[in-house]
Structure 1
Amino acid sequence: MTRWIVVLTLLLVAGCTARNPHPAALTPTAHGDFAHNTLALTWQPGFCSTGSGCTPDQPRRALIGLHGLWASEPHTLEAQGVPVERWWREGCSLLGPDSGPPVLDNALSQTLAEIVPHTAPSLVVHEWVKHGACFGYDPRIFFAKASALQARFVRSPMMAFLGQRAGMVVTHEEVLAFFRQSTGSDLPRALQLRCETDHDKRVVLTQLWFTLNPDKMGDFPSSPSYLSSPHMQDNCPAQFWLRRW
Structure 2
Amino acid sequence: MIRKLVAVSVLFLAGCVGSEPHPSALVPLAHGDFDHNTLALTWQPGFCSAGGGCTSDQPRQSLVGLHGLWASEPHSLEAQNVPVERWWREGCGLFVPDAPPPVLDNAMLQTLGEIMPHTNPSLLTHEWVKHGACFGYDPGVFFAKASALQSRFSRSPMMAFLAARAGTVVGHDEVLAFFRTATGATQPRALQLRCETDQAKRVVLTQLWFTLDPKRMGQFPSAGSYLDSPQMQDNCPASFWLKNW
Q: Secondary structure at the match of 1:99?
A: coil
Distance in 1 separating the partners of 2:230 and 2:171: 24
Shift of 1:117: 0.0
Instruction: Letter of the 1:113 partner, please give it.
Output: G
Question: Relative CO higher for 1 or 2, CA cutoff 8 Å, sep ≥ 6?
Answer: 2
Shift of 1:21: 5.8
Counterpart in 2 of 1:46?
46
**Consecutive aligned runs of 4 or more in structure 1 exceeding 3 Å deviation:** none
Counterpart in 1 of 2:223?
223
Max radius of gyration: which structure?
A: 1
Contact 1:21 1:148 in 2 (8 A): no
* Structure 1: segments with no counterpart, 5+ residues: 1-19
How big is each residue's C-alpha offset from its partner over 1:118-154, in whole Å with a ceiling of 9 and x where there is no partner? 0000000000000001000000000000000000000
Q: Secondary structure at the match of 2:199?
A: coil
Shift of 1:96: 2.5
Q: Could you tell me the TM-score, scaled by structure 1's length?
A: 0.91
Distance in 1 separating the partners of 2:75 and 2:142: 21
Counterpart in 1 of 2:133?
133
Distance in 2 separating the partners of 1:64 and 1:30: 31
Q: How is 1:230-245 mapped onto 2 (pairs within 5 angstroms)? A: 230-245=230-245
Distance in 2 separating the partners of 1:159 and 1:189: 18
Count of matched residue pairs: 226
Counterpart in 1 of 2:36?
36
**1:198 aligned onto 2:198:** yes
Distance in 2 separating the partners of 1:26 and 1:213: 12
Contact 2:22 2:218 in 1 (8 A): no
Counterpart in 1 of 2:208?
208
How big is each residue's C-alpha offset from its partner over 1:164-195, in whole Å with a ceiling of 9 and x where there is no partner? 00000000000000000000011010000000
Q: How is 1:1-245 mapped onto 2 (pairs within 5 angstroms)? A: 22-245=22-245
Instruction: Letter of the 2:148 partner, please give it.
Output: A
Contact 1:158 1:179 in 2 (8 A): yes
CA RMSD, 1 decimal: 0.7
Instruction: Letter of the 1:97 partner, please give it.
Output: P
Q: Secondary structure at the match of 1:215?
A: coil
Distance in 2 separating the partners of 1:98 and 1:135: 14
* Structure 2: segments with no counterpart, 5+ residues: 1-19
Q: Secondary structure at the match of 1:177?
A: helix
Distance in 2 separating the partners of 1:98 and 1:28: 19
How big is each residue's C-alpha offset from its partner over 1:16-49, in whole Å with a ceiling of 9 and x where there is no partner? xxxx763100000000000000000000000000
Alignment identity in percent? 77
Q: Secondary structure at the match of 1:38?
A: strand
